[in-house]
Structure 1
Amino acid sequence: MKIGILITGHPPEEMSDGGRYDAYFARLLGDRDFTYQAWSVVDGEMPQGVHDAEGWLITGSRHGAYEPHPWIPPLEQFIRDCYAAHVPMIGVCFGHQVIAQAMGGKVEKFAGGWSVGRVVYPIEGQEYAINAWHQDQVVEKPAMAQVIGATDFCANAALLYDDRIWTIQPHPEYESDFIGGLIRHRGKGVIPDAQLDSATAALTQPLDNHAIAAKMAAFFKKERA
């Protein structure tokens, strides 16, 4: 199965040795009979059509879905076209947000502040420890979306759009070393020190990234009419 990865942001320059964000997701999902092709949407590169891949994944980004970047409206139309064509799609963090926005929801900077580091999310009846790094949130979900994951801090942490789109706010592609790098290179002076200290202290705790990867793979491979 060919997975198209739509890159909507780049890692900080100080952390670019891990490659572009598509490499993070390819490592997360592994082979699983998947092949991967990436389009750098943030740099103006778009697929020719929704059938250029059999499934799509939209990455995270430092940009806001509501910001006036020229590449966001074409991406939103692509999302709607995928939904109409029943081509499966997964969105992570910014991907989660821009999909919600494209489908009629609302994204904004959350008045409650940032979520940083290891967070336990109840998703579809089970708990998963996943790294978070966001202030923006889906504050109003699209009408057709079902909430499948929520916390007291993030009411729309995971959304399901029937069998066509599955999205999550946290980052299963981020291991603890990447979060540690974000703390050092993007956190200071932006996020309260006490919150960064708490996230740093949790860096040695286990994560459930591989369990989330299995869920993502199962969603892509699900039998559809």
Structure 2
Amino acid sequence: MRIGILQTGHAPDALRAEHGDYPDMFTRLLAGQGFDFVTHDVEAMEFPASPHDAGGWLITGSRHGVYEDHPFIPPLEGFIRAAVDAAVPVVGICFGHQIIARALGGQVEKFVGGWSVGACDYRIEGRPFRLNAWHQDQVIRPPDGAETIGSNDFCAHAALIYGDRAFSVQSHPEFDSGFIAGLMQTRGAGLVPDDLLDAARARLDLPTDSDAMAARIARFFTERR
């Protein structure tokens, strides 16, 4: 099955030599699941011709806010709506989680409670998940037809499902602890409060459930429609 990666941002230049860019991380995350991948740099306005150009679509994270004025955001929202209407499965991660919600009528804001950084504990579909996070924006109000299936005390809508059409999570299963540590060095200082960075550093060695989330994403892509 071919998965189209809709790339909405890039990893920091200083981290790419060691960790790769976001499509590389998703290729590693979903390795062994029977997929091949094609990447479209939608941030650079490189869009697929049709939602049917792939068997499923995965929308990456980004440093941008979905409510910001960037040329790629309106056509990306239109593409999401077209894919959902065509029953081509869409998965969103962080920014991807937020842009799906916004494209379908939900509300996304810069969260007044601040940042979530590093390994965080969630309950998703009735089971505990520990996944890495890096965000301040949140889905505040999911769109009609979305079901909240994951949350914690900080993030009320940490995972959403839209029947068999879309599935999204606010966290970053594709980020390992080394990349989180690199983000704290390259993007965190002066942006994220020091106490949150210190707390995230103290949790860098905790195991995460990225493999379990990768399996869940794969099941969503391949389940019958």
Alignment TM-score, normalising by the size of structure 1: 0.98
What does residue 149 of structure 1 align with? 150
Flag as ranges the 4+ runs of structure 1 deviating above 2 A: none
What does residue 16 of structure 2 align with? 16
Q: CA deviation at 1:74?
A: 0.2
What does residue 7 of structure 2 align with? 7
Secondary structure, counterpart of 1:211 in structure 2:
helix
CA deviation digits over 1:177-224, x for unaligned, max 9?
Answer: 000001111111111111100100100110110000000001101011
Which moved further from structure 2: 16-25 or 41-50? 16-25
Q: CA deviation at 1:19?
A: 2.2
What does residue 117 of structure 1 align with? 118
Give, in whole Å, the separation in 2 of the partners of 1:207 and 1:101.
28
Secondary structure, counterpart of 1:205 in structure 2:
coil
1:74-223 correspondence runs (5 A):
74-223=75-224
Q: Which amino acid aligns with 1:114?
A: W
Secondary structure, counterpart of 2:185 in structure 1:
helix
Give, in whole Å, the separation in 2 of the partners of 1:182 and 1:20.
13
Secondary structure, counterpart of 2:91 in structure 1:
strand
Give the length in aligned residue pairs: 224
Secondary structure, counterpart of 2:69 in structure 1:
coil
Give, in whole Å, the separation in 2 of the partners of 1:19 and 1:49.
27
Q: CA deviation at 1:122?
A: 0.3
Q: CA deviation at 1:152?
A: 1.4
Give, in whole Å, the separation in 1 of the partners of 2:194 and 2:74.
36
Q: CA deviation at 1:96?
A: 0.2
Give, in whole Å, the separation in 1 of the partners of 2:69 and 2:145.
25
Secondary structure, counterpart of 2:122 in structure 1:
strand
The gaps in structure 2 that reach 5 residues or longer are none
The gaps in structure 1 that reach 5 residues or longer are none
What does residue 25 of structure 1 align with? 26
- Root-mean-square deviation over aligned CA pairs: 0.6
Give, in whole Å, the separation in 2 of the partners of 1:189 and 1:21.
23
Give, in whole Å, the separation in 2 of the partners of 1:57 and 1:70.
20
1:40-51 correspondence runs (5 A):
40-51=41-52
CA deviation digits over 1:13-43, x for unaligned, max 9?
Answer: 1111122211100100003221100000011
Alignment TM-score, normalising by the size of structure 2: 0.98
Identity %: 54
What does residue 56 of structure 2 align with? 55
